[in-house]
Amino acid sequence: MRISVLGLGYIGLPTALLFASAGYNVVGVDVNDKKVKLLNDGKLPFQEPGLEELFEKAKQNFKATTEVEESDVFLIAVPTPLDEKTKAADLRYVRSASEMIVPHLRKENLVILESTVPPKTTERLLIPILEKSGLKAGKDFHVVHCPERAIPGKTIHEMIYNDRIIGGITKESAELAKELYSSFVKGNIYITDATTAEFVKLIENTYRDVNIALVNELAQIAEEYGINIWEAIELANRHPRVNLHKPGPGVGGHCIAIDPWFLIQDSSNGKMIALARHVNDTMPNYTLRRVREMLKGVDYPTITVFGVAYKGNVDDARETPALRFIRLAKNDGFKVKVYDPFVNEFEYPILGLEEAVRDSDCIVVITDHDVFRFLDPDDIGKLMRNRCVFDARNVLDHEKWRRAGFKVRVLGDGKENL
């Protein structure tokens, strides 16, 4: 049985390799010919824990190409970015991937959409395109929406062990896809209809976004009262039905900062969801206000941003709140230097640690990379002009930094009015 996976990105590639390692004959299709060549030369286009070992195991059943060929199964895992102007999904890649399938679609084929999409996309966009083949969805061929649920940094583990939702346009479509995914998924697989599956995916990430917005707002309220939000959250979470998230300098990544817009783009409701987006999007502004206050009296301040990845321990800087923070800081006249031991590509140069902290007045921790905990504040302090650190993630060992002569402030530490 041949499976064609369209889109060899963070989700498509590991999925293709998991099917290949389960014994299927997998063709990975991508419009980027450099990526295709790289893969056929046995190299990976990005890093993810466990991906290399998986590639080794799957290689013999996998090939990459730029053209779609006849298959039994077509799986679409292309990006669905947010169109910033309209705050709606940009579905051009889903459209073009579906169109690429049309000439090769045969009776009894199964088409799987994994990309995150607004509710009704399977029904209103995907199926009409596929039916240009002259075949009828649900009768001649099968269609399901099976949203990915894996978290970057643990993608492969979560693809295997997380529960999955499969939304079929018919029960038969869903059952067929369930059998296929059972070849590598060890979590439970639940079956529903395609629109419900689209909706479920979006509400998972909206749940997280709204909860993060809540603690981000609580952090600001706590500061008005002069109390520490981190202590307050820890105590509140002792309640059996409370599970507050962590405040921070904002929300990034290609999912949580985007999916809530897909949910409300075609709805006249969703006021709280839009408000939560606003709260999270403006956390870099709040972070900067706190840094500015810390550096009062310092002429021509230089700050060093620690971490531009959208979250800890990954090399991914998509939609990172660090970008907004840096732009705002520059507009404010700050000189900004950047250090991130994981990220290679970014809008601003990424410096080595020493160069990044030399003559700086303040370190601003934007990303919770674990390695930041092991830095030596004595060594760093010697290179700086002023010893200040603002920890927007509450990840450093603050006592250690204080002992090294640093003035330390933490987002939500209640020190705003002191």
DSSP state of 350: B
CB closest to ligand SAJ, residue no: 255
201 is a catalytic site residue: yes
Cβ atoms of 404 and 388 closer than 8 Å: no
Out of 35, 146, 178, 255, the active site residue is: 255
Q: How far is the CB of 253 from ligand SAJ (least distance, A)?
A: 3
DSSP state of 342: S
DSSP state of 372: G
Count of H-run helices and E-run strands, the chain = 17, 15
Report how far Cα 129 is from the mean position of its chain's Cα atoms. 29
Considering only 310, 339, 372, 390, the residue that binds ligand SAJ (CB under 6 A) is: 310
CA dihedral for 203, 204, 207, 210, sign (positive or negative)? negative
Which phi and psi angles does 364 have, rounded to 5°?
Answer: -120, 110
Per-residue tokens: 90: 């940009």
Residue 251 in the binding site for ligand SAJ (CB under 6 A): yes
Q: What's the rounded Cα separation, in Å, for the pair 245 and 73? A: 39
Residue 409 in the binding site for ligand SAJ (CB under 6 A): no
Considering only 142, 145, 164, 245, the residue that binds ligand SAJ (CB under 6 A) is: 245
| Beta carbon nearer to ligand SAJ, 47 or 66 | 47
Concatenated DSSP letters for 91-145?
Answer: -HHHHHHHHHHGGG--TT-EEEE-S---TTHIIIIIHHHHGGGS--BTTTBEEEE
| Beta carbon nearer to ligand SAJ, 156 or 384 | 156
Cβ atoms of 219 and 393 closer than 8 Å: no
Q: How far is the CB of 149 from ligand SAJ (least distance, A)?
A: 5
Residue 203 in the binding site for ligand SAJ (CB under 6 A): no
Which phi and psi angles does 202 have, rounded to 5°?
Answer: -70, -35
The site for ligand SAJ, by CB under 6 A, has a size of 20
Considering only 15, 98, 122, 205, the residue that binds ligand SAJ (CB under 6 A) is: 205
388 is a catalytic site residue: no
Residue 203, beta-bridge partner list: none
| Beta carbon nearer to ligand SAJ, 135 or 328 | 328
Residue 252 in the binding site for ligand SAJ (CB under 6 A): yes
Contacts to ligand SAJ from residues 106-165, by CB under 6 A: 116, 148-152
Considering only 246, 327, 402, 415, the residue that binds ligand SAJ (CB under 6 A) is: 246
| Beta carbon nearer to ligand SAJ, 116 or 302 | 116
Contacts to ligand SAJ from residues 46-85, by CB under 6 A: none
Q: How far is the CB of 176 from ligand SAJ (least distance, A)?
A: 23
Which residues form the interface with ligand SAJ (CB under 6 A)? Answer: 116, 148-152, 204-205, 208, 212, 245-246, 248, 251-253, 255-256, 310-311
Active-site positions read: 201, 255
